[in-house]
Amino acid sequence: MSILDQSTAIGFAFNPLDRRNEKRDDAAYIESLRRDPSTRFVVFSADIPVLKRASEHRILFSASEVSEFGPPVQVVFLGQTDAGSARFALGFDQGAFDPPSLSARFELIDLRSIALRGLAPPALLGALGQAKAMLDWHARHRFCANCGHPSRAQTAGWRRSCDTCGSQHFPRVDPVVIMLGIDDNRCLLGRQRQFAAGMYSALAGFVEPGETAEGAVRREVLEETGVRCSQVTYFASQPWPFPSSLMIGCFARATDTEITIDTTELEDARWFSREEVAAMLSGTHVGGLSAPKPFAIAHHLLRAFVSEGAAVLRATDVASS
């Protein structure tokens, strides 16, 4: 599969599975895939992936390997590889892998750590992100939002239906803008209190109802730092399965530069030169400051800014004031 856009270089964004959404209602077809010897499963205990301790293929499980775990709480069909091999996500209750007979052979590693440590190749990391988002959605939506009665999974795990009132519920994705304000040779970064010491990152915030992504970029930068922006340029997007967001990466041209920090959102915010950002990315900043790791879209926004400076605003403008 060819690389179609720059998003595919970002963590969780490269997922070459054919999702076969046209087959999700075909229960016989989905069951035949589940029983196929070539099918592989990713396994979760609550929202944490389960890995095999002593195996070259630590993340993908065969049907015989998962049979000893008993019935899963949730099953989601993820899709098929180019070779036709199916992938499913299996969700088990928290604590299901605590017994010594299992904990000696399997370990639970959270998805952020898997990404940071490079424990999964990009294509499999994308499938893990897909699986985590879907299993989390099921865990949070076991009851009908319309009448409050229990709902049940259907359509290969991609819909929940309420037998009491007939409502149907579908997975949700929350759009989040993440952006760099640009002032010629400088970009605007902030840090939250929970960040690792010395780390600064792009500003970010949820898109609100009735708001465009471009409007959210301007609003969030203004609310968090007091800086006004005009022109907004789209860069790339990233599925962010914590629990189920879509990070919409943008650049925005700053029309003023005075910073007034919203201390409920940020611990600090400041302007950084391209040279400083380059040092932060390479781990050579004289003040020990750092930037997000490559699996995060913020890292790629910063790399693009270091490479092109204000030129990142030039060709793919999607809005201007």
User: Rounded CA gap, 147 and 162, in Å?
Assistant: 9
At 260-303, the pLDDT tens digits run 999 999 999 999 999 999 999 999 999 999 999 999 999 999 99
Report yes or no on whether pTM surpasses 0.75.
Answer: yes
Write the CB contacts of 302 (distance below 8 Å, at least 6 apart in sequence): 180, 187, 202, 277, 280, 281, 291, 292
Query: What pLDDT score was predicted for residue 15?
Result: 96
Low-confidence stretches of the chain (pLDDT beneath 70): 1-4, 315-321
Instruction: Please tell me the predicted confidence (pLDDT) of residue 321.
Output: 37
Chain-centroid distance of CA 8 in Å reads 12
pLDDT of residue 2: 39
Q: 3-state class of 71 per DSSP?
A: coil
Contact 268, 190 (CB under 8 A): yes
- Say what the pLDDT of residue 320 is: 40
Could you write out the DSSP letters of every residue in 116-151?
HHT-S-HHHHHHHHHHHHHHHHHHH-SB-TTT-SB-
Looking from the CA of 6 toward its CB, the CA atoms found within 13 Å total: 14
The answer to whether 250 touches 177, Cβ cutoff 8 Å, is yes
Angle value at C-alpha 247, between 158 and 110, nearest 5 degrees: 70
pLDDT of residue 4: 54
Contact 177, 216 (CB under 8 A): yes
CA–CA distance, 30 with 320 (Å, rounded to integer): 47
